[in-house]
Amino acid sequence: MTEPTATYADLFAGIGGFAAVLQALGVHHAYAVEIDKAAATTYARNWGHDPLGDVTVDTADITTRVSAHTILTGGFPCQPFSKSGAQRGMDETRGTLFHDIMKIVQARRPPMILLENVRNLIGPRHAHEWALIIDLLREAGYQVSDQPAIVSPHQIKPEYGGAPQVRERVFITATLVPEGRVADPTVGPVTILDEARMDREWDLNLDLPLLTVDAQHDLTGTELSDSEVAWIDHWESWVQAVRVLYAAEADRDGAPAKRLPGFPIWAHVWTTSDRKRRALMAPGGVRVPAWKANFLTKNWDLYDGLRARGLGDWLDQWLRVTRTFPESRQKLEWQAQDTEHLWDCAMSLRPSGIRAKRMTHLPALVAITQTPILGPKRRRLAPREAARMQGLPDNYDFGGQRNAATFKQLGNGVNAGVVWNVLRAHVARDRDLLMANGAAKIVEAVDAGPDDLTHQIAQVLTNRKTHADADAKVGA
Would you please indicate which residues are annotated as catalytic (active-site) residues? Answer: 78
What gap in Å lies between CA 374 and CA 379, rounded to an integer? 6
What gap in Å lies between CA 184 and CA 146, rounded to an integer? 11
> Which are the contacts of 301, defined by CB distance < 8 A and separation ≥ 6?
none
Q: Give the three-state DSSP class for 376.
A: helix
Strands 169-176 and 142-144: antiparallel
> Which are the contacts of 314, defined by CB distance < 8 A and separation ≥ 6?
241
What gap in Å lies between CA 471 and CA 270, rounded to an integer? 67
| Structural contact between residues 299 and 265, judged by C-beta atoms closer than 8 angstroms | yes
What gap in Å lies between CA 122 and CA 136, rounded to an integer? 16
Nearest Cα neighbor of 7 from 451, 460, 441 is 441
Nearest 5°: the CA angle 9, 39, 75 is 45
Q: Residue 241, exposed/middle/buried by CB under 10 A (0-12, 13-18, 19+)?
A: middle
